[in-house]
Every structure is written in C-alpha cells, then in structure tokens.
Amino acid sequence: MKNLPDFYTGAPLDPDDLAFRDEFVAELWDELRTQHVVLSAPRRTGKTSVMDHLAAYPKNDFVPISVFVQDIGHPADFILLMLDLFHEKHPKIFRDLFRSGGKFIGSVLGTIKEIDFSGIKVGLREKDPNWQNNWKSYGDEFFSEVRKSEHKILLLVDEFPDMIVNMNKHHPELVRPFLAWFRGHRLSPHPKKDSVRWLICGSVNLSSTLDVLGCLDEINDLHDIALPVLTNEQVKQFVENMLAGRGVEFSEKVPTRVAATLGRPVPLFLQMVTVNLHRSWKRDGQKLTVRDVDAAFDELIVSSGARDKLQHFYSRIEQYYQSPKKEAAYALLANLCLSPDGLTRDALLADFTRILHEHNHPSTSDVRKSLFNQLMRDLENDFYVAEIKANHFDFASGLIKQWWKKYYA
Ligand SMILES: Nc1ncnc2c1ncn2[C@@H]1O[C@H](COP(=O)(O)OP(=O)(O)O)[C@@H](O)[C@H]1O
Ligand SMILES: [Mg+2]
C-alpha cells in the first residue's frame, strides 16, 4: 500500500491503495490453488477492488483475465468478450495458444495477420456468420488449447449473476444449457488438475438468483467465499489515517462517532463521509468534533453523489426480491426506519403476517414463518438489517436508516 491512499467515491481502488484486504487476498489465492470460487457481497463493498488486486499482482503463475459481464445476455457474447479481452491483454500468449490452428479461433487467427483495433471479437464475427450458435465450440476450443499449453489462466468474472438474469430475460432457453456447459468445464478436469481457474463475483447472491430459475444444482461445485465486512477497528483506523495523513486536526471521538453512525459499514459510504469531513476542515480550518461528523452525515444524505448509490439499496429490492417478499421487505423497512431502537422479531413477524393478508397471500402459519425467516436472512445478507441483540433487529447501516426515513417512511 502507498503511504497515503487517495479517496475513492465509487470507482474501484487502485490496487496499491487497497487497505484491509491483505489477509483476504492471501486466502483467496490459497483457495484458488485447488478450486473455483464464488465471491459475493453487496454492491459498493469492495469486490471489484479485490479482483483488480488479484489481476494486478497475480500469484501461482496464473495469467489473469478480468471480464465484466453485467450487460451480457447471450453465451456467445460472453465467450467472445472473454477471448477479446484475453487477446487484448496478452496478445503473445493468445497467438501462442492458437498458433497450431484449431477449427474456429485458430483458423480465424490464421487468416488475420494484424488484428486492428476492432479486435478479435469483430474478426471472429466477420469470419463466422454462425458465430452465435457456435459459442460452445469457441469455448471448448479455448479451454482445450489452454489445457494443452503450459499456461495457467485465471478468469475473473465480475457481476456474473446479472448476466444470468439478462440471459433469462432475452434467451431463457439458453440459461440451462449455458450453466450446464460451464459446470461441465469446471468439473472435468478436476480443478486441482485444471489450468483454467474461475473466480466468479456478484453483487447479487448467485444462489438466490439460480434458485429462482430452478438451476441451483448447476453451481453446487463452486466454493462460496464472503467478502469480510470491515470491522469497527478498521473503520476507525481508516478515518484516522485519511484525516491525520492530510494534516486534519480532530477530536479523538471523531473516528468512533463515524463507526457508530455507519453501523455495518458500506465502504463507499465510509469514504464519502470522510471526504465530507476533510472538506469541512478545509473550509472552516477548525478542529473537527462529533458535531462535524453528524453534519457530514447529514450532508451525505442529501448530496447528489450519494443519492443514486443509496437509491440502489431501495430499487434492488424491486429488482431481485420476489413477491410477496418484495412488498413485505418494503413495508418492514418503512416501519423499522421509524423505530429509533429497532424492533423485536415478534413485532416484525406480526407486521409480516398483516402484509401477507393485505396482499391476499393465503398461507398456513408454517409457510408464513418459513417465508419470514427467508426474508430476514435475505435482508441480513444484503446489508439491510442486523440483529443488534437477541431477537431484536435494526437497520444494519445508520446511514441507510436515516436516508430511508427521509425518503420512504
Ligand atoms: N478496502 C477498502 N477500503 C476503503 N474503501 C473501499 C475499500 N474497498 C472498496 N471501498 C469503497 O467502495 C467503493 C466501491 O468499490 P468496488 O470495489 O467497486 O466495490 P464493488 O465491486 O463491491 O461494488 C470504492 O469506490 C470505495 O469508496
Ligand atoms: Mg464491482
């Protein structure tokens, strides 16, 4: 890490600025020795930053290729994008692999002397009118050539569940064939013996996405790892380092207050509030106090920079939660944001039961309880709520609670 990292308010961190992730990065490399890995965590918590670090400082002789697939909706686009990025990043290795002339990629490469800036993807599409239906052949050839070579390839696929959701929207008939084909390549050869390795990443839980599509069995081989949540100590350390490093004077209560208000910290909001503190010090030139922290949070909630990011927490429920959990989630959170100290599990369950009735969702009390438990688990995993003491829940993030109250109560 550099001495004094920059502030980041949305973009992934420069790998040299990545703090608090050394242990986790080491753990990931260790897991990737023998298996394929899924990394899930909510948006804006630092997944892409970790992946960028792996790509910038590869270990165990892996050649990394990062593929961002959020807007992809067809398996052929996925395979071609992967080839394109591979060729762009590692043209020599790419040429080397397909020199011997395989049926698809190899033969196209043979006909192209210089690949102009439109890239290999466009080249392949021009040469093969049937490229969209040939995605399996392209993929098979790619993996088979890698496996024959001495190279080890690490594919870092970002926002994978979104791609599956898109595929399901535009080409529903291809979802299962794609997942089955992909699974086949992960199982055979055994990952320990395979020179192709996958790290799959998503802001949306992959299991819940595939569960809804009835395809959960297609990923049960993947090893799930959660991105660690920053600890209270790390949050305080961040505020201290970033402010002290810039010559800001602050009361010793400032970092504690930031940690307390953030609750379960979304790293992006930690950065944004620290930026506000820094700005307020530059403006007033006064030693910062807890009052400045409260003002910095108030400012954050109404700032245009934070709005769309906070908004995402609201709209992702609409996008990813199924009825009646969707309606129930909105109602429970609206209620919770008005309760200064949170609510008991029983109070939330009573609320939930009422909402189900209102939406004419007849169900036995067993079904209702199990739906409720699922919903609470999703809300916890997705950073909305936390169990602050036994059977007592509140918003996980004080910031999101404040914001919810302002706009959605
Ligand atoms: N290790 C970290 N320390 C401090 N802030 C971080 C860290 N990782 C991420 N962030 C914050 O989160 C934002 C989003 O990071 P990113 O890696 O793009 O997250 P994700 O891919 O999960 O959406 C960054 O702009 C930065 O504000
Ligand atoms: Mg990301």
Q: Is residue 6 part of a domain?
A: no
Q: Kindly state whether residues 27 and 158 are assigned to the same domain.
A: yes
So what's the pLDDT on residue 26?
A: 98
Q: Residue 45 belongs to what domain range?
A: 15-226
Q: Is residue 148 part of a domain?
A: yes
Pocket-testing residue among 8, 22, 203, 204, ligand 1, by greatest number of atoms within 8 A of Cβ: 8
So what's the pLDDT on residue 118?
A: 63
| Ligand 1: residue whose CA is nearest its atom 4 | 267
Output the CA 41–ligand 2 centroid distance in Å.
9
Instruction: State the ligand closest to the CA atom of 46.
Output: 1
What CATH code is carried by the domain that includes residue 244?
1.10.8
| Ligand 1: residue whose CA is nearest its atom 27 | 268
Output the CA 130–ligand 1 centroid distance in Å.
40
| Ligand 1: residue whose CA is nearest its atom 15 | 46
Q: Is residue 9 part of a domain?
A: no
Q: Count of domains in the chain? A: 3
Output the CA 47–ligand 2 centroid distance in Å.
5
- Which atom of ligand 1 is the closest one to the Cα of 43? 23
So what's the pLDDT on residue 2?
A: 54
- Going by C-beta distance under 8 Å and a sequence separation of 6 or more, which residues neighbour residue 186? 36, 194, 198, 221, 222
User: Pick from 380, 94, 263, 262: which is nearest to 276 by CA?
Assistant: 262
What is the residue whose two structure tokens read 């939660």?
Answer: 321
So what's the pLDDT on residue 112?
A: 66
Gap between the Cα atoms of 187 and 222, Å rounded: 10
Output the CA 288–ligand 2 centroid distance in Å.
32
Q: Kindly state whether residues 272 and 363 are assigned to the same domain.
A: no
What CATH code is carried by the domain that includes residue 319?
1.10.10
Q: Is residue 149 part of a domain?
A: yes
Q: Which of 278, 302, 326 is the last residue of a domain?
A: 302
Q: Kindly state whether residues 138 and 240 are assigned to the same domain.
A: no
Bridge pairing between strands 223-226 and 37-40: parallel
- Mean pLDDT in order along the chain per 10 residues (409 residues): 84 97 98 95 91 98 97 97 92 86 76 65 85 94 94 97 94 97 96 96 82 87 92 97 97 97 92 97 96 95 86 87 90 96 96 90 85 91 89 93 90
Q: Kindly state whether residues 90 and 205 are assigned to the same domain.
A: yes
Instruction: State the ligand closest to the CA atom of 17.
Output: 1
Is pTM beyond 0.85 here? Answer: yes
Q: Kindly state whether residues 255 and 343 are assigned to the same domain.
A: no
Q: Kindly state whether residues 157 and 258 are assigned to the same domain.
A: no
So what's the pLDDT on residue 320?
A: 80
What is the residue whose two structure tokens read 């609670």?
Answer: 401
So what's the pLDDT on residue 225?
A: 93
Indicate whether residue 47 lines ligand 1 (CB < 6 A): yes
